Structure 1
Amino acid sequence: MSSYRTSLPWRIVIGIADYLDARIGWDKLPLPLGLGTLLGLRVRYRQENLHDTNKIPAVNVPEPVPPKDSFKVNRTADGSYNDLGQPRMGMAGTRFGRNIPLDKIPPVSPADVLSEPNPRKVSRELLTRDTFISADSVNSLVGAWLQFMVRDWFSHGTGVSDRPWTVPLMDDDPWPERPMQIMRTMDDPTRDPHAPAGTPDTRVNVFSHWWDASQIYGSTEDEQRAMRTGQLGKLHLWDDERMPFPSDPARDPSRVPGFWLGLALMQSLFTREHNAICDHLHAAYPSWDDEELFERGRLINAALLAKIHTVEWTPAVISHPTTVTALHTNWWGLAGERVHNLFGRISKSEVISGIPGGETDHYGVPYALTEEFAAVYRMHPLIRDDWELRAANDNTTLRNASFRDIAGPEALKVLGSISTTDLLYSFGTLPPGLVTLHNFPKFLQEFERPDGHLQDLAATDILRSRELGVPRYNEFRRLLRMKPAERFDDLTDNPQWAKQIMKVYEGDIEKVDLTVGMFAEKLPKGFAFSDTAFRIFILMASRRLNSDRFFTEYYTPEVYSKAGLKWIDDNSMMSVLLRHHPELRTALTGLKNAFAPWNVAGQD
């Protein structure tokens, strides 16, 4: 166990938190007790659920470039030198960490991955969307935003196509290919070929692990240079400055699997935001050159994204009063936003004054995003199948589209034919799907990638967790000190679902996959996803900030500039939208959160 907060008072706090959570549930407690319980749980998870895969023998690890003085105040493209004492930590090409002990990572054999039960069977019988189940407290920007963030946080790289997983199919399965093939995850290039038998599998993150907006700026210096204009720190906008994507087919992002209209909208919006930040900095500091404007602009934009995710997106999708307060506390502390804006930090404590500007802390384990974090963020049910694209000024229908019509290269055609303002309005006024069983987008169960590969993403999600050694649902909960389900009726408050799950898993509750269990759960008040997934967020949402010196000890006017920190303080998703699309003012009037349902034009 970690030595983090092991004093008697903290042991008492943790013990009380464990007791209250197990006996009553954090979400059923009064706000102060609920907050205290979440605090105790976070301390427990920091002690027990951060595990370093770099302890497993490695070869050919990525080497950071030689240090430069500028690395002290600038983020590098690949994430190296965020920790100046351990420059490789969190850089692109390093291993995912784990939130479970390394000796608890389940074995990965073909039988473990492909059977008990077949991933395609799980997809067809438990995940298929028969009727769209909407999440009416939020809008469809939540799904677009989530994928935009995921493109910054992690990727396992291009799948291995020469030795795919072969998934057998039932005779009545309409899948057009026999058998179904799902590409394997890329092997860990740093894995020691002489590692002893039984050594847990590891994988690398081809992106930087840090919250550094690499989906905008790239993860290599070459990618970064290609995005820059070389003037006033700004980024390119192509096609008469309407799109942040080049027309060069070799650099066409729409050919990358996973590209769709929602991702394009977020990419466009925050590319423009970077340029607006650079204009603001140039006005405040006219002597700054292109490089200085770019580097400060990048820091500010990345921090604004982190702030929006922390105090707007996440509170929108888990809008329980306790979690909303806890998330705001992560950024501003219990002292609150008003005190922060008036006085700055009033305490060294992250609880009192928030994480930004506080002390950097890895809690005894080198920072990395984790396989479990990636697993619980597989939230494809957020995506709708059908999209009514409408005009912001009068709500008239411009086009009815399927998801296939707004994915891949088709997304760029839509961007070229319908204004970005109207597209954002359409997303803002349409609800996403609820993250639950029987709500997986049908188009993603028969998804043709730009490379022509046909894919059932629901089956792939099930297979990926197994392939990457993420425990099944009950074991996952045990390792987070949560009560496992003893009966199938314990999994869900829907008796029909309980029977269906029991049938698919042939009565073996220990075989229920993590995704299925999470999607089946009764959700806490205000939640669009499960309490089990939330436990990983309790730990990792703050860790991404705590470990990053650019959000902690280097979150200062000397590094960001006084004007830069004020930009972060003063702005939100709402202000970003209105800065670049003022025509949305009526749709957003009266809203406190831009991820809540927008006002519909013509309706009182």
Structure 2
Amino acid sequence: MRPNPLNPLNPLGLEWYQHPSLTLQLANLAKAREDLRDENLHEQDGMRPDEAPAGEAEQGARARTPEGSHNDLGCPMMGARGTGFGRNVPIEKTVVDKARLLEPDPREISRRLMARDEFKPAGILNALGAAWLQFENHNWFFHGNGDPTRFISIPLQDGDDFPENPMIIRDTIPLHGGEIEDGKPAPVFANAETHWWDGSQIYGSGAEKQDQIRTYVDGRIKVDDDGRLPRSDIPGVDLTGMQENWWFGPGLLHTLFAREHNSVVAAIKKAHPDLGDQRLFELGVLVVSALIAKIHTVEWTPCVLRHPALQIGMSANWYGALGETFRDKVGRIGDSEALSGIVGSSTDHHAAPFSLTEEFVSVYRMHPLIPDDWDFFSLESGAFLEHQYFTDIQGRYTRDFMDRLAMGDLWYSIGKASAGAVCLHNYPNALRNLTRVDGQVTDLATLDIVRDRERGVPRYNDFREALRMPRRKKIEDITPNKQWAKEINEIYHGDVDAVDLQIGMQAEQPPKGFGFSDTAFRIFILMASRRLKSDRFFTTDFRPEVYTRTGFDWVNDNSMKDVLLRHYPELEPVVGDVERVFAPWHELGAAEPGRKPTILRAADTVKSYLPWGS
């Protein structure tokens, strides 16, 4: 942060984590979020139509709608499916420079800076935590599949073994059609999902998708008698709300929360036998989406951000500074977000109507979390079962692979494995030569670079400046890893202002205990609370009168561990006494014939891989 005589909390311009006391760290985080709410929420013209879909107004008054309309009753299309992404940087900072769209060569950046040379484990986060993030991304955003006749062509350099030359990346299509104009701010791009935290990865965005997954009996959604999701007409992919970028990790989570939905509606029907299918379904959506949001806020996030200030801060987002016990026993103290948490407080959109943002999409590009190599083990004996490369457990191969193994074995294997560290030279090579279900071959690392440039997301230094973070004067200032700095200098010819956002964020040394960069974190502290604070069903309507007492208590009383053990009680030996479900689980030693397997306790304090030293 820059020196600011108007901020008595930080007159020396220290980074928030450089303050000597936890109290000052928390105070500066709160001040940073306040400033970001005032200065870094921007809406472009034409982001949404004035009229909402016919017939959703009545449902929207009491529940979430299929299109995401009527969350804000005064602005029905705010956050709805098909409306545009907002911005966290001023609109004039989103200029697209077509001459630099492929400069430096994004494929060479993928090959020389991003490609995994060896697996670098995160340590503090398990592979379930990696799957969880993609499960959540399935809920939050999707720009669509584009138009095969409109694309960016990337010629390959000598020695590149990518199977297609040139590499083809489909354009992102602007909301109102037309072309991206050179030298002007990027147009508005639409979200094919709803913007709200509404469980749409399970239920689908839009009435047509929801119709496919519903049974229309007692509010339930489709789950086969064996507890697995039905197969869809897409090869290898289950029938569920969001079916893109499919692999067995999201497959497990989509299945788990489909089953959880059916448990929720059964409990509510038992308490309210007079309720019909539609109302039960609506209540199930409310409860499950709130439970997912709670798990992400107070379980996943504190696992990937282990700094003490963040442990307190994320809990306070949900429960307030007075804490969970006080909330459970006493309830809220007025409308104070600080004392009693965002959940149940009044709704506030702050400086702009709610939407997710292009910059939010960018900072959640965390593909290095995914391992290339996977080992699978028996939950019953601890014995090794098989090894798989990521290519063969994703896309069209997913369902056949999952059907070969017991669900308990799949959960145990993903829970005990480490996620990858979010850093350079750790991008999964399986994702750098990926054949999608529709036959497209792509390099997602190249894609990540191109998408930021195409959509007008500022490069690293301009991005930091827009968030009032100090610019880096030279490339060596980005990272303490001398080898990385040398490689970045070679690719970007010493121009620190040309360094792409993804490269700067992955090269940074994060604050102690962090699983990703402080630059990415600035968007996180703004948007993580905004997704709650703007949503009527997490704020003014998070109450028993809307959720029912059964549904309200379900959200408050359950955790990720509760959900897992409700549907897979066989996991008790490996998760029953773990503190963090998204940290590596206990390991079972292979048992001798006739004996139970040995439980080897996971070291929850294992350090992250720190590749930033010289």
TM-score w.r.t. the length of structure 1 is: 0.93
**CA-CA distance at 1:285 after TM superposition:** 1.6
Q: Would the aligned equivalents of 2:97 and 2:182 in 1 still touch at CA under 8 Å?
A: no
Q: Would the aligned equivalents of 1:191 and 1:202 in 2 still touch at CA under 8 Å?
A: no
Aligned to 2:594: none
What is the letter of the counterpart of residue 245 of structure 1?
P
Aligned to 1:394: 381
Is the partner of 1:89 in helix, strand or coil?
coil
Distance in 1, Cα, partners of 2:235 & 2:75: 35
Q: Does 1:242 align with 2:227?
A: yes
Q: Does 1:230 align with 2:216?
A: yes
Q: Which stretch shows the higher mean deviation, 589-598 or 146-155?
A: 589-598
What is the letter of the counterpart of residue 243 of structure 1?
R
Q: Does 1:378 align with 2:369?
A: no
What is the letter of the counterpart of residue 23 of structure 1?
L
Distance in 1, Cα, partners of 2:401 & 2:386: 10
Q: Would the aligned equivalents of 1:228 and 1:234 in 2 still touch at CA under 8 Å?
A: yes
Q: Would the aligned equivalents of 1:62 and 1:94 in 2 still touch at CA under 8 Å?
A: no
Distance in 1, Cα, partners of 2:235 & 2:585: 37
Aligned to 2:393: 406
Q: Would the aligned equivalents of 1:59 and 1:191 in 2 still touch at CA under 8 Å?
A: no
> Is the alpha carbon distance of 1:178 and 1:417 closer, same or farther for their aligned partners in structure 2, counting shifts above 3 Å?
same
What is the letter of the counterpart of residue 456 of structure 1?
D
> Following superposition of structure 1 onto structure 2, how do residues 454-533 of structure 1 map, counting pairs within 5 Å?
454-533=441-520
**CA-CA distance at 1:251 after TM superposition:** 10
**CA-CA distance at 1:319 after TM superposition:** 1.0
Q: Would the aligned equivalents of 1:245 and 1:252 in 2 still touch at CA under 8 Å?
A: no
Is the partner of 1:387 in helix, strand or coil?
strand
Aligned to 1:25: 16
**CA-CA distance at 1:134 after TM superposition:** 0.2
Q: 2:101 aligns with which of 86, 107, 113?
A: 113
Q: Which stretch shows the higher mean deviation, 222-231 or 308-317?
A: 222-231
Q: Which stretch shows the higher mean deviation, 498-507 or 286-295?
A: 286-295
TM-score w.r.t. the length of structure 2 is: 0.92
Q: Does 1:446 align with 2:418?
A: no
Aligned to 2:562: 575
What is the letter of the counterpart of residue 98 of structure 1?
R
Q: Does 1:201 align with 2:187?
A: yes
> Is the alpha carbon distance of 1:250 and 1:394 closer, same or farther for their aligned partners in structure 2, counting shifts above 3 Å?
closer
Q: 2:128 aligns with which of 141, 155, 158?
A: 141
Q: Does 1:75 align with 2:64?
A: yes
Higher helix content, 1 or 2: 1
When the two structures are aligned, how many residues end up with a matched partner? 587
Q: Which stretch shows the higher mean deviation, 362-371 or 229-238?
A: 229-238
**CA-CA distance at 1:387 after TM superposition:** 0.4
What is the letter of the counterpart of residue 52 of structure 1?
E
**CA-CA distance at 1:15 after TM superposition:** 1.7
Aligned to 2:77: 88
Q: 1:41 aligns with which of 29, 32, 36?
A: 32
Distance in 1, Cα, partners of 2:288 & 2:244: 25
Offset from partner CA, 1:488-530 (integer Å, 9 cap, x none): 2111110110111011101111000000000000111111111
* Structure 1: runs of 5+ lacking an equivalent: 1-11
Offset from partner CA, 1:429-462 (integer Å, 9 cap, x none): 0001000000000100111111111101101001
Distance in 2, Cα, partners of 1:547 & 1:212: 13
What is the letter of the counterpart of residue 284 of structure 1?
A
Is the partner of 1:205 in helix, strand or coil?
coil
Distance in 2, Cα, partners of 1:272 & 1:261: 16
Is the partner of 2:403 in helix, strand or coil?
helix
Aligned to 1:356: 343
Q: Would the aligned equivalents of 2:358 and 2:457 in 1 still touch at CA under 8 Å?
A: yes
> Is the alpha carbon distance of 1:544 and 1:60 closer, same or farther for their aligned partners in structure 2, counting shifts above 3 Å?
closer
Offset from partner CA, 1:212-258 (integer Å, 9 cap, x none): 000111111121122111222111013x3432233445995599541
Q: Would the aligned equivalents of 2:237 and 2:395 in 1 still touch at CA under 8 Å?
A: no
Q: Would the aligned equivalents of 2:16 and 2:29 in 1 still touch at CA under 8 Å?
A: no
Aligned to 1:587: 574
Aligned to 2:551: 564
Distance in 1, Cα, partners of 2:74 & 2:527: 22
Q: Would the aligned equivalents of 2:116 and 2:429 in 1 still touch at CA under 8 Å?
A: yes
Between the two proteins, what is the percent identity of the paired residues?
44
Distance in 2, Cα, partners of 1:221 & 1:17: 49
Offset from partner CA, 1:352-398 (integer Å, 9 cap, x none): 00011100000131100000000000000000000001111222112
Q: Would the aligned equivalents of 2:416 and 2:587 in 1 still touch at CA under 8 Å?
A: yes
What is the letter of the counterpart of residue 208 of structure 2?
D
Q: Does 1:281 align with 2:268?
A: yes
Q: Would the aligned equivalents of 1:272 and 1:580 in 2 still touch at CA under 8 Å?
A: yes
**CA-CA distance at 1:186 after TM superposition:** 2.3
Distance in 2, Cα, partners of 1:193 & 1:396: 56
Is the partner of 1:368 in helix, strand or coil?
coil
**CA-CA distance at 1:191 after TM superposition:** 5.6
> Is the alpha carbon distance of 1:419 and 1:454 closer, same or farther for their aligned partners in structure 2, counting shifts above 3 Å?
same
Q: Would the aligned equivalents of 2:59 and 2:65 in 1 still touch at CA under 8 Å?
A: no
Distance in 2, Cα, partners of 1:120 & 1:17: 44
What is the letter of the counterpart of residue 68 of structure 1?
A
Is the partner of 2:138 in helix, strand or coil?
helix
Offset from partner CA, 1:269-288 (integer Å, 9 cap, x none): 00000011112112222222
**CA-CA distance at 1:145 after TM superposition:** 0.5
Offset from partner CA, 1:545-577 (integer Å, 9 cap, x none): 000000000111110011111111110111101
Q: Would the aligned equivalents of 1:58 and 1:192 in 2 still touch at CA under 8 Å?
A: no
Aligned to 1:299: 286
Aligned to 1:215: 201
Is the partner of 2:274 in helix, strand or coil?
coil
> Is the alpha carbon distance of 1:388 and 1:399 closer, same or farther for their aligned partners in structure 2, counting shifts above 3 Å?
same
Aligned to 2:612: none
Aligned to 1:3: none
* Structure 2: runs of 5+ lacking an equivalent: 589-597, 601-614
Distance in 1, Cα, partners of 2:66 & 2:397: 30
> Is the alpha carbon distance of 1:127 and 1:279 closer, same or farther for their aligned partners in structure 2, counting shifts above 3 Å?
same
Is the partner of 1:259 in helix, strand or coil?
coil
What is the letter of the counterpart of residue 168 of structure 1?
P
Is the partner of 1:225 in helix, strand or coil?
helix
Distance in 2, Cα, partners of 1:409 & 1:498: 39
**CA-CA distance at 1:165 after TM superposition:** 0.6
What is the letter of the counterpart of residue 165 of structure 2?
R
What is the letter of the counterpart of residue 67 of structure 2?
D
Is the partner of 1:542 in helix, strand or coil?
helix
Q: 1:65 aligns with which of 31, 42, 54?
A: 54
